Amino acid sequence: MYSERMSTPERLIESTRELLWERGYVGTSPKAIQQHAGAGQGSMYHHFAGKPDLALAAIRRTAEEMRATAEAVLSGDGSAYTRIEAYLLRERDVLKGCPVGRLTMDPDVITSDKLRAPVTETLDWLRDRLAGIVEEGQGQGEFTATLDARDTASAIVATVQGGYVLARSSGSPTAFDAAVRGLLTMLAASRTNPAPAVTPSTAPPSPTTTA
């Protein structure tokens, strides 16, 4: 499953990430992690204090990937609207959902201050990053001054995360696409020089690992 050159700690972290995604925290037992990683019990406890320590490393890795994926799009070329549009329209495995967002529905993660911290920090970072782009657009005269940057950023994050829920509940990405189209229509109305919005079907491909 993993490259022979991948170290034991790396195999353990990647195995924990996959199992957390598939089974949640409770269903991810140390034995299952060891079997999935092809590592012995001694190796696991040599590198990590226990399951909570390993889960924290796995969640941090997932959060880091989400930030990197989002930043690659948000720091691209184009206007503020164009970059937000690119983030919303990027290629995603919608029915699989967001690996960070789904952690908020795991009670064992949310009730743990340590495990919850990377999730909260990542979603806060995403809202701050989006708010900064909206403010940038306002400074350049692209968006109207009446648009609240932080509220808009929260709406963008909520649309993506809620879109995953709608898509998974219906078994179709159609609901996600509709949510994105609706948000882009409202955001375009706040532009001082609006242009036609791109539809999800014409979006360029991009990484599919995170939100």
DSSP string computed for 64-112: HHHHHHHHHHHTSSS-HHHHHHHHHHS---TTT--TTGGGGG-HHHHT-
Indicate whether 68 belongs to any domain: yes
Indicate whether 194 belongs to any domain: yes
Give the Å distances, CA to CA, from 145 to 32, 79, 135, 141. 53, 16, 9, 8
pLDDT band at 204 (very low <50, low <70, confident <90, very high): very low
Q: Is the pLDDT of residue 63 over 80?
A: yes
**pLDDT, tens only, 91-145:** 999 999 999 999 999 999 999 999 999 999 999 999 999 999 999 999 999 999 9
**pLDDT, tens only, 165-199:** 999 999 999 999 999 999 999 999 999 876 554 55
**In degrees rounded to 5, what are phi and psi of residue 140?**
-95, 5
2 in the same domain as 68: no
Tell me, rounded to whole angstroms, the distance of Cα 146 from its chain centroid: 28
196 in the same domain as 100: yes
66 in the same domain as 40: no
Report the domain count for the chain. 2
- Residues 53-82: what's their mean pLDDT? 96
**pLDDT, tens only, 10-29:** 999 999 999 999 999 999 99
140 in the same domain as 195: yes
pLDDT band at 6 (very low <50, low <70, confident <90, very high): confident
139 in the same domain as 76: yes
- Residues 29-39: what's their mean pLDDT? 93
43 in helix, strand or coil?
helix
Domain that holds residue 120: 62-202
Q: How far apart are CA 112 and CA 110, in angstroms?
A: 5
**In degrees rounded to 5, what are phi and psi of residue 106?**
-95, 110
Q: What pLDDT score does 207 carry?
A: 38
CATH number at residue 3: 1.10.10.60
- Nearest 5°: CA angle at 157, between 146 and 63? 135
pTM: 0.86
Q: What pLDDT score does 1 carry?
A: 58
171 in helix, strand or coil?
coil
195 in helix, strand or coil?
coil
Q: What pLDDT score does 76 carry?
A: 95
DSSP code of 197? P
Closest C-alpha to 183, from 211, 209, 138, 151: 151
Q: Is the pLDDT of residue 205 over 70?
A: no
Helix-, strand-, coil-residue percentages of the chain, each rounded to 5: 70, 0, 30
Beta bridge partners of 191: 143
Give the Å distances, CA to CA, from 56 to 9, 114, 118, 158. 13, 7, 8, 24
Q: What pLDDT score does 193 carry?
A: 74
Indicate whether 102 belongs to any domain: yes
173 in the same domain as 77: yes
pLDDT band at 2 (very low <50, low <70, confident <90, very high): low
Q: Is the pLDDT of residue 72 over 50?
A: yes
Contact 17, 61 (CB under 8 A): yes
